[in-house]
Amino acid sequence: MGTSGVLRSRPAQGVLLELGLSSGPDSAGSSGVHPSSSRRDDGDLAMRETMRAVVFCGEGAWRIESHPTPQLRTEDEVLLKVERASICGTDLHILSVPPGHPATPGTILGHEYVATVVEVGSGVRHLRPGDRVVVDPNITCGICEYCRLGFSNMCENMTTLGIFRHGGLAEWSVAPAKAVHKISSQVPLDRATLAEPFSCVLHSFERSAFVPGESVAILGAGPIGLMFLMLYKAAGAYPICVVEPVKFRRHMAESLGADAALDPSAHDVLREIKGRTRLGADIVIDAVGTLLPEALWLVRRGGRIVLFGMNVHAER
């Protein structure tokens, strides 16, 4: 495949962007390889001075454009050949007008991606060229008070690849080695792309303190809602009620084991869920990010609500 991007629709996984490399002689001599680094050298990973990338232009606009190929700048960075990258709901919020999430214009988008290590800085010990990896896009400082207390998710100096720093919707990417995690080469690339969103869902699942046999209501059956559905189903939740206005997403939820997939425009959702749970759901998942008022109606007294994916449009 050449250098053009190929968008491939996956109903349960959002959209994947596959960026290929054109064949040709190795141009590593002009790629600015870090002098004290280790890099893989084969034709499949031939470097060029420029690459194609999806760049956020501001005001809901983006372009696929030629961009300088990234180079290692420090000894603790890793150069990656991007294999797959997915489009997240956060990307859609960024591209909304008005935006539902801030981002820096001129930044290469993409914070969910799987890659192959091309080159590692001289200070990197846990990775080597040829490794298949996934990337944690949230880059923390490690020195602020929150980081020292163990709450790195609250880092005062956090930045995010694909939002405030160049990300993975490109042919190559550079990331701090501490954010790059090796995975088995047996994991299919398309599935590995979901490591970042699934880790978020798994963390929320654990925070919900679920007990097998509890009832769950999931508001929204997009990729995130469906991941929640699969987790709670596997863990023994009953019943699981999914609320989703889009027909094909309701069908997808049913195929993945939802005990009820409700159209809010055609059902009295409160009555339907209380009819199945008597008191209300033990756990309610807002997988849309703007449905806290509805979640409060649906949860039983003493139950738990998981707010996932909140954005500025949730201020109401």
Q: Which two tokens stand for residue 70?
A: 């990234």
- Which residue bears the tokens 């002689």? 25
For the annotated catalytic residues, the residue numbers are: 90, 93
CA distance 175 to 167: 8
Q: Give the C-alpha distances (Å, rounded to integers) separating 72 from 79, 176, 205.
A: 7, 10, 37
Q: How far apart are the first and last CA of the chain?
A: 47
Contact 194, 143 (CB under 8 A): no
Nearest to 92 by CA among 224, 191, 192: 224
**10 Å Cβ neighbour count for 257?**
14
Q: In the 8-state DSSP scheme, what is residue 233?
A: H
Spatial CA neighbour of 82 closest among 178, 186, 161, 197? 161
CA distance 258 to 209: 20
The number of C-alpha atoms within 13 Å of 218 and in the hemisphere containing its C-beta is 35
